[in-house]
Amino acid sequence: MSQAAAAGPSIQALVHRLAACPQDFLMDPIIGKKGSIHTVALVSDILLEMGRAVIEQKEADSIEGGTFKPRVQVNRLRMIQVACWLLGHSWFQGRKELCPKVLLFLAAGLDDLAGMIDASLLVTDQDRREELARLLLDLLELTPEGETQAQAADRLESISSVMRRKVLEQTKQAEARARKIREELAKKAAAEAAAKTSRE
């Protein structure tokens, strides 16, 4: 988060809005001939509410593009749809200056998360609702109402699914290294014992 982060809305208000997200926003996006929701149209609507012109083609491509597995891409677009509902909060309306960062968040800010959890958890799970709200404010360089930047950063790190996965992977790697060292020590001890027996 930038040193010059401006004040944003309260996390409680955003989490409350996510809890009220209509199920329509979790319907499958239109990809080819399948799906029900036109994700880019939702993004365009949000930009209009924020005071910007209709989405451009290259921006639409950044929303719909990417080299994701089909299942992850569907989940990613559903997450973008939920994020559009979140950005429909009254605090964001008319804030045209935030549009470039909003587009960046929608195009790339949810990519990692889309491969880890189902989009529905951004609505149904308290921690995941908070995670989405905090991810959004962090990328928009906004500090949640009533928090310092340090408090906001610490809280985001503590509930981050991405950080949790990194910690788990680091723990697995450390355990694998420890196991390898134990095996090598056991082999060395066995070899030394065998050498001692042969000398005797």
Do 110 and 177 fall into the same domain?
no
Do 55 and 83 fall into the same domain?
yes
Do 119 and 196 fall into the same domain?
no
Do 136 and 84 fall into the same domain?
yes
* Residue-wise pLDDT tens digits, 65-109: 878 898 999 999 999 999 999 999 999 999 999 999 999 999 999
Do 148 and 177 fall into the same domain?
no
Structural domain includes residue 62: yes
Q: How many domains does the chain have?
A: 2
What integer pLDDT is reported at residue 192 of this predicted model? 72
Rounded to the nearest integer, the mean pLDDT of the chain is 86
Counting residues of the chain whose pLDDT is more than 70, the rounded percentage is 84
Structural domain includes residue 2: no
Q: Give me 158's structure tokens.
A: 């503590």
Structural domain includes residue 57: yes
Q: How far apart are CA 171 and CA 177, in angstroms?
A: 10
Give the domain range for residue 54. 8-159
What integer pLDDT is reported at residue 167 of this predicted model? 47
Counting residues of the chain whose pLDDT is more than 90, the rounded percentage is 60
Structural domain includes residue 198: yes
**Nearest CA to 140 among 66, 87, 200, 69?**
87
Do 96 and 173 fall into the same domain?
no
Do 104 and 185 fall into the same domain?
no
Q: Which amino acid is at 26?
A: L
Q: Give me 190's structure tokens.
A: 């066995």
* 124 C-beta neighbours (distance < 10 Å), count: 13
What integer pLDDT is reported at residue 2 of this predicted model? 43
3-class state of residue 7 by DSSP: strand
Task: Check if the beta carbon of residue 119 is closer than 8 Å to that of residue 79.
Answer: yes
